Amino acid sequence: MNQPLDSIASVLEETGEYRVLRRIAPFAPSPVQPDEPTFFGLILDTETTGVDFGQDEVIELGIIKFEYGASGRIYRVLESFNQLHQPSRPIPPEIARLTGITDGAVAGQRIDDAAVGMLAADAAVVIAHNASFNRQMCERRWPVFAERNWACSLNQVPWREEGHEGLKLGYLLIDCGFFHHGHRAIDDCHALLQLLARPLKVSGRLALSCLLETARKPTVRLWAEGSPIETKDLLKAHSYRWSQRRRSWYIDLDEAQMEIERTFLSETIFRRPVAHLPADRFTARDRFSARTNPEL
């Protein structure tokens, strides 16, 4: 923003009667050299023809490769990648309206698979705002993503505890005083980069630091196999989900919550000790993958 307009915006904000949203600016590299171990990370976003992992296709892939420190500080952007892809079927009208990506825009376009593989080859982590969706859409076409650690900025940053009501990217930006043009892959990547580089409102911790800390912790999927059918509403109210494939209710937990959850199942659901219910352990390497999706 130029100086005169910036001054006007500041005057408006100082009255307490107005709030000014600023367009996110390009990421500014750190003015200091890293004094800690550093790693390469990717921020990734896709636009797709729909949400069916078996049939729908990626029509746009955006990636930002960046260098970050063990502290969660982001030092610099290394590369920005954004390409369109012509799907095997016409883009649904509702997708074209949402993203602005038309059949004409993608005609003859193809994402460079080799370039994607090179970008991801040395990435310590791949971050997406809804990693469950983006990982499953990507790893089917680009096997390198099945071999990477993934983190989800939607669900693995404590946004609500840090004073944010909405978890969508646009809502989080507005809370921080910014806006962007959403629903294009690379624009969403740049927006997420800015959010992860900022300190959180309540704790003051860097958002990326919180995300990486959570992503590193193993999680456990506990299965309430054989639960009485009349307890389904209790399980749903307790955040359990139904797996049609395994015909069982399940819940994903931090390892530290396991004993509390087993006590709940023993006392409220089964009405008897249930020390040996099946449980699956996940890390960032397999979490959010199609390999661990209980619905597939």
Q: How many domains does the chain have?
A: 2
Strands 241-243 vs 248-254: parallel, antiparallel or unpaired: antiparallel
Q: Does 196 share its domain with 255?
A: no
Q: Does 26 share its domain with 125?
A: yes
Residue 110 φ/ψ, nearest 5 degrees: -145, 135
Q: Does 133 share its domain with 228?
A: no
- Per-residue pLDDT 10s for the chain (296 aa) are 567 888 888 888 888 888 889 889 899 999 999 999 999 999 999 999 999 988 999 999 999 999 999 999 999 999 999 999 999 999 999 999 999 999 999 999 999 999 999 999 999 999 999 999 999 999 989 999 999 999 999 999 999 999 999 999 999 999 999 999 877 899 999 999 999 999 999 999 999 999 999 999 999 999 999 999 999 999 999 999 999 999 999 999 999 999 999 999 999 999 999 989 999 999 999 999 998 888 76
**End position of a domain, from candidates 179, 199, 216:** 216
- From residue 147, alpha-carbon distances to 119, 139, 140, 244 in Å are 13, 9, 12, 27
> How far apart, in whole angstroms, are the C-alpha atoms of residue 182 and residue 176?
16
CATH number of the domain within which 57 lies: 3.30.420.10
Q: Does 85 share its domain with 224?
A: no
Q: Does 145 share its domain with 51?
A: yes
Q: Does 110 share its domain with 247?
A: no
Q: What amino acid is encoded at 39 in this protein?
A: F
Is the CB of residue 281 less than 8 Å from the CB of residue 218? yes
Strands annotated E in 169-240: 178-179, 219-223
Q: Does 184 share its domain with 273?
A: no
CB within 8 Å of 48: residues ≥ 6 apart: 56, 57, 58, 59, 95, 137
First to last CA, the chain: 48
Which range marks the domain in which residue 250 is found? Answer: 219-292
* pLDDT score at 203: 97
Q: Does 138 share its domain with 108?
A: yes
Q: Does 113 share its domain with 208?
A: yes
Q: Does 140 share its domain with 211?
A: yes
Q: Does 141 share its domain with 275?
A: no
**End position of a domain, from candidates 195, 216, 237:** 216
Q: Does 30 share its domain with 71?
A: yes
